[in-house]
């Protein structure tokens, strides 16, 4: 299965239909030649970008010179040329990929951790069952990526489903991989509770909140109101026993967070504060990026939260991501949260990089 972003990015390098030895000049190549030495183009990376661009030009020149040897009458020389051409093509592809990575702007939270929130949507008990399965899928994906996964809140339903849950996920590029998972996930199947054998459509929502560092986000303690109350509902084993539930309100914005999962009020306060910081940080990032990101197909944060991003069709054994129109046909394996989910996430990252690249090239000097 090909990566979604690759075809688009390759198209930026050269218009289709042109063959070697003519040197194709796509918008990306023209852009590089015009701006490769500019620090404004790629803050902190201009020397590296310039070196990679020069090396790419050298390799392409060597490739064109070697291709002329294919017309030589000496068969040994032609064979040698074919081997050299294969090596040059591989090196050129690697250099193009390196240049693309240098051009795509890195975002502040990409290297950081995140808070995952899942909530049942339309569909009653079936929606709650599916929410539980999706939460388990992400927990298994975290294990597959060797990330840390800590459950912060867990509110189960009566028949083994999940009303709402949140977890802290940390590890190498955790947010960078998970940030495109936010949105409405739709399931189509015959529920276990369905006696007539009719297929139902249910939904659940995923929210991905970047976790700020102490430097990224500073909160004045005077701006907080902290309330405690007796825990209630299906929040855990120790409900209705102590005044352990904590609710923290950020007075300037009205944003609040609460936790009643633990017996300890101190632990609940720590978790509620962690969730509040993530919410406030996410709000700040969205304000900063809203102007440049509105046109993107792949949205992050609250802009993408109400969008139906993915359908899980069990009768057809199919999962389809609607943003990049990509389908995979092994739903049981996909829900295990390992290589198939990773493949889809990589395709989303590739497409997002392509959109970022188009923005960079289209930006006026």
Per-residue HEC secondary structure of 68-111 comes to HHHHCCCHHHHHHHHHHHHHHHHHHHHHHHHHHHHHCCCCCCCC
Residue 292 has pLDDT above 90, yes or no: no
Q: What is the pLDDT of residues 258-269, one digit of tens each?
A: 888 777 888 888
Q: Is the distance from CB of 102 to CB of 49 less than 8 angstroms?
A: yes
Q: pLDDT tens digits for 28-48?
A: 666 666 655 555 555 566 777
Question: Do 26 and 73 belong together in one domain?
Answer: yes
Residue-wise pLDDT for 227-271, tens only, equals: 888 776 554 444 445 678 888 999 999 989 888 877 788 888 888
63's tokens:
């490739």
Q: What are 172's two structure tokens?
A: 């190498």
| 38 assigned to some structural domain | yes
Note whether 344 and 283 are same-domain residues. no
18 pLDDT more than 50: no
As a whole number, the mean pLDDT across the chain is 81
**Arithmetic mean of pLDDT, 164-179:** 93
Strand order in the sheet with 162-170: 148-156, 162-170, 114-120, 200-210, 183-189, 308-313, 318-321, 326-328
109, part of any domain: no
Instruction: Tell which residue, 125, 255, 109, 94, has the closest CA to residue 182.
Output: 109
Q: Is the dihedral of CA 214, 219, 220, 224 positive or negative?
A: negative
pLDDT at residue 97, as a whole number? 79
pLDDT of residue 149: 97
331 and 312 in contact (C-beta within 8 Å)? Answer: yes
Per-residue pLDDT, 359:
75
pLDDT reading at 302 higher than 60: no
Rounded to the nearest angstrom, the gap between the alpha carbon of residue 318 and the centroid of all alpha carbons in its chain is 20
Q: Decide: helix, strand or coil at residue 314.
A: coil
Among candidate residues 176, 234, 164, 236, the one with its CA nearest the CA of residue 206: 164
In the prediction, which pLDDT does 305 show? 52
Report pLDDT for 19.
41
215 within a domain of the structure (yes/no)? no
In 10 A of CB 293, how many CB atoms?
A: 18
> 241 with 205, same domain?
no
Q: Is residue 128 part of a domain?
A: yes
296 band by pLDDT with thresholds 50, 70 and 90: low
175 plus 316 within the same structural domain: yes
Whether residue 225 is found in the same domain as residue 284: yes
Average pLDDT over residues 141-159: 93
pLDDT tens, 56-81?
889 989 999 999 888 888 888 888 99
- Mean of pLDDT values over 141-154: 95
Euclidean distance between CA atoms 172 and 263, whole angstroms: 31
Which of 70, 103, 136 is the last residue in one of the domains?
A: 103
pLDDT band at 20 (very low <50, low <70, confident <90, very high): very low
Specify if 235 maps to a domain.
Answer: yes
Residue 185 burial (CB < 10 Å; 0-12/13-18/19+)?
buried
Residues 329 and 284 in one domain: no
Of 2-11, 57-66, 207-216, 309-318, minimum mean pLDDT range: 2-11
Q: Is residue 37 part of a domain?
A: yes
Are residues 329 and 188 part of one domain?
Answer: yes
pLDDT digits (tens, 9 = 90+) for 85-113: 999 999 988 888 788 777 776 776 677 88
Reported confidence tier of residue 137, pLDDT bands at 50, 70, 90: very high
Which has the higher per-residue pLDDT, 3 or 153?
153
Per DSSP, the three-state class of 59 is helix
CATH of the domain at 278: 3.30.160.20
* Band of pLDDT at residue 196, cut at 50, 70 and 90: confident
Asked whether residue 298 is domain-assigned, the answer is no
Q: Higher model confidence: residue 318 or residue 239?
A: 318
Q: What is the pLDDT of residue 238?
A: 44
174-178, 319-323, 358-362: range with lowest mean pLDDT: 358-362
Indicate which CATH number applies to the domain containing 192.
3.30.70.1660
188 and 331 assigned to the same domain = yes
Give the angle subtended at the CA of 12 by the CAs of 7 and 17, to the nearest 5°: 75
Would you say 163 and 286 are in contact if contact means Cβ atoms under 8 Å apart? no
Residue 222: pLDDT above 80?
yes
Residue 337: inside a domain:
yes
**How many domains would you assign to the chain?**
3
Q: What is the mean pLDDT of residues 144-169?
A: 93
Q: What is the mean pLDDT of residues 306-311?
A: 86
Helix pair 75-103, 46-67: axis angle to 10 deg: 160
Residue where a domain terminates, one of 74, 103, 132: 103
| Same domain membership, residue 237 and residue 200 | no
Looking at the structure, do residues 195 and 312 belong to the same domain, yes or no? yes
Which of 245, 260, 288 delimits the end of a domain? 288
Q: Which domain holds residue 189?
A: 114-209+304-360
User: Do 23 and 159 belong to one domain?
Assistant: no
Shared-domain flag, residues 9 and 99? yes
**Res 22: pLDDT:** 42
């Amino acid at each position: 299965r090909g990566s979604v972003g690759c075809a688009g990015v390759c198209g930026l390098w050269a218009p289709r239909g042109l063959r070697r030895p003519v040197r194709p000049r796509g918008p990306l190549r023209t852009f590089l030649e015009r701006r490769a030495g500019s620090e404004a183009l790629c803050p902190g990376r201009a020397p590296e970008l310039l070196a990679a661009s020069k090396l790419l030009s050298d390799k392409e020149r060597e490739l064109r010179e070697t291709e002329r040897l294919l017309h030589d009458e000496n068969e040994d020389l032609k064979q040698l040329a074919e081997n050299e051409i294969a090596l040059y093509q591989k090196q050129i592809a690697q250099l193009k990929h390196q240049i693309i990575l240098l051009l795509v702007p890195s975002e502040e939270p990409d290297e950081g951790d995140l808070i995952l929130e899942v909530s049942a949507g339309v569909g009653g008990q079936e929606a709650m069952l599916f929410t539980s399965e999706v939460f388990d899928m992400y927990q298994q994906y975290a294990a597959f990526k060797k990330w840390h996964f800590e459950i912060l809140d867990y509110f189960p339903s009566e028949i083994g489903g999940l009303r709402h849950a949140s977890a802290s996920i940390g590890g190498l590029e955790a947010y960078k991989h998970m940030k495109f998972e936010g949105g409405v996930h739709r399931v189509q199947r015959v529920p276990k509770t369905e006696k007539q054998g009719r297929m139902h459509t249910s939904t659940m929502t995923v929210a991905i909140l970047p976790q700020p560092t102490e430097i990224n986000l500073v909160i004045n303690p005077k701006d907080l109101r902290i309330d405690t109350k007796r825990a209630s509902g299906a929040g855990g084993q120790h409900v209705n026993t102590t005044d352990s539930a904590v609710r923290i309100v950020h007075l300037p914005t009205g944003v609040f967070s609460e936790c009643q999962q633990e017996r300890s009020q101190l632990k609940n306060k720590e978790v509620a504060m962690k969730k509040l910081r993530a919410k406030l940080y996410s709000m700040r990032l969205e304000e900063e990026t809203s102007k440049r990101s509105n046109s993107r197909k792949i949205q992050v944060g609250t802009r993408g939260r109400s969008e139906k991003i993915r359908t899980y069709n069990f009768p057809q054994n199919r999962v389809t991501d609607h943003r990049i129109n990509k389908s995979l046909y092994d739903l049981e394996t996909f829900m295990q949260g390992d290589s198939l989910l990773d493949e889809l996430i990589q395709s989303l990252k590739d497409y997002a990089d392509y959109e970022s690249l188009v923005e960079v090239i289209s930006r006026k000097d």
